[in-house]
Amino acid sequence: MTSNFCRLGVAGLGTVGAGLLNFIAERPDFAPAGGRVVVTGVSARSRSRPRPVDISNLTWFDDPVALATSPETDVYVELIGGADGTAKASVEAALKAGKPVVTANKALIAEHGGDLARLAEANGVPLLFEAAVMGGVPAVKFMREAMVGDDVQSLAGILNGTCNYILSEMETTGRAFADVLADAQRLGYAEADPTMDVGGYDAAHKVTILAALAFGYAPNFSAAQVEGIDQLDLLDIKLAHDLGYRVKLIASAKLGADGVRVQVHPSLVPLDHPLAQAGGALNALFVESKRIGRIFLQGPGAGAGPTAAAVAADIADVMTGMVRPVFQKPAASLQQYGSVDPSDTLVRAYLRFMVKDEPGVIAAVSESLAEAGVSIESFLQKPAGQTDGVPIVMTTHSVAESVLAAAIDQIAGLATVLDRPRLLRIAQI
């Protein structure tokens, strides 16, 4: 589609939808070559809900599918959210009707992106989702377009602003996870149901999309290994800091001999690494490629303004007639990947043991690690003074996950070890 006049059907009038309508009211000529963008139809759950944007002159659709296929809709903009249900049905309907689709929906793309890409390409229309990853930071365009001349080898990022905010607050204020989460919910930084964010699933959706774009595979969300920050202890944030690390929720992807490995874990990042410097609600992405080398992107990953800007950039691409394969390569030629057995994965680990304050305890833990084949890199012991034991911390050299897991099981059974040992991975970046 190349057009100087573009009629949008916008489904979803929440943070992003209202942000987009406000932006278009302010800058209807934002697209290149002076074309005008108008919103003609809208849809949301409740017609009567008060909104920060005037929709009285727009055609209301109770059903987003009808909006997606309306003759008045040139481009369908899906800002509802969710991997299935109405969001998926309306996007499929728009693509089948030959309408370009712009969406901010990471769950939809991470879970159904391969099928939707085939549908879009079969119908010769673009399916664009810049806002789905890192909000205002153009990570999708970067990966899909700028990196076609290179081979991405690995990527690691902070892709969830809510978790990054919580971790930053825990470190700077010394408050526990539950306290900071409650504050974040009160301030509107976290959802009432925070599972998608703090459970690591939102970051996993985003890194699944980036991995697909980077490596030429169809996204496979079910293959991601996901661990969130909800079980993280303040004590580990403090002890990691004493060892020269900051704990971040790191979403990473790597292409190896056994396929694509996608992981989300709370991880230790050296304090002087750019990813450790990205504080508050910022998002950041660190990419290593064969020819360009190391690239670092950082910026606001959410919010009405940044996300609407990313949606608008996709609309501008539709208007200039840019139709590229949805995931860098044609959908039919995308490779598939499955879960990678983590047992052989090499990790460097941070291990924290709560032990009785008795002679010989450290030697027993060290011996168990040595017997299992785990080599210790550094050691930290904090003074006693807590009724529930003394924390000792060891970081390890590279070791297979299965070896580490067996050693942890064995040490957990020692009479002098009071609690299950805590394992955090040291980010390999």
Ligand X SMILES: NC(=O)c1ccc[n+]([C@@H]2O[C@H](COP(=O)([O-])OP(=O)(O)OC[C@H]3O[C@@H](n4cnc5c(N)ncnc54)[C@H](OP(=O)(O)O)[C@@H]3O)[C@@H](O)[C@H]2O)c1
Residue numbers annotated as active site: 206
Q: Cβ of residue 139: shortest distance to ligand X, in angstroms?
A: 11
**Span from 73-81, 148-156, 270-278, 401-409 in contact with ligand X (CB under 6 A):** 73-81
* 105 is a site residue for ligand X (CB under 6 A): yes
Question: Measured from the CB of residue 125, what is the shortest distance to ligand X in angstroms?
Answer: 20
In this complex, which beta carbon is closest to ligand X, that of residue 300 or of residue 391? 300
Q: Does 307 bind ligand X (CB under 6 A)?
A: yes
| Interacting residues with ligand X between 18 and 47 (CB under 6 A) | 43-46
Stretch that binds ligand X, among 94-102, 113-121, 129-137, 313-321 (CB under 6 A): 129-137
149-168 footprint of ligand X as x/- string (CB under 6 A): --------------------
Q: Which stretch binds ligand X (CB under 6 A): 11-19, 31-39, 118-126, 360-368?
A: 11-19
Site for ligand X in 238-277 (CB under 6 A): none
User: Counting contacts by CB under 6 A, is residue 13 touching ligand X?
Assistant: yes
- When CB distances to ligand X are compared, the closest residue is 14
- Asked if 15 is part of the footprint of ligand X (rule: CB under 6 A), the reply reads yes
Instruction: Give yes or no for residue 135 binding ligand X (CB under 6 A).
Output: yes
| Beta carbon of residue 80, minimum distance to ligand X (angstroms, whole number) | 4
- Interface with ligand X (CB under 6 A), residue total 26
Question: Least separation, in Å, of the C-beta of 63 and ligand X?
Answer: 8
For position 391 contacting ligand X by CB under 6 A, the verdict is no
Which CB, 67 or 424, lies closer to ligand X? 67
Taking the complex as a whole, the smallest distance from the CB of residue 302 to ligand X amounts, in Å, to: 3
> Is there binding between residue 17 and ligand X (CB under 6 A)?
yes
**Among residues 1, 3, 7, 14, the one that binds ligand X under rule CB under 6 A:** 14
Closest CB to ligand X among residues 46, 387? 46
Is 207 a binder of ligand X (CB under 6 A)? no
- Residue 395's closest CA among 425, 364, 350, 346? 350
Tokens of 74: 């040139």
Nearest Cα to Cα of residue 232 among 273, 184, 301, 179: 179
The b/e string for 361-399 (b: 16+ C-beta within 10 A; e otherwise) is bbebbbebbeebebeeeeeeeeeeeeeebbbbbbbbeeb
Q: Which of 81, 113, 228, 325 binds ligand X (CB under 6 A)?
A: 81
Pick the stretch among 215-223, 252-260, 301-309, 342-350 that binds ligand X (CB under 6 A): 301-309
The one among 6, 8, 11, 249 contacting ligand X by CB under 6 A: 11
Tell whether residue 281 is a contact of ligand X (CB under 6 A). no
Chain residues in the site for ligand X (CB under 6 A): 11-17, 43-46, 49, 64, 79-81, 86, 104-106, 131-132, 135, 302-303, 307
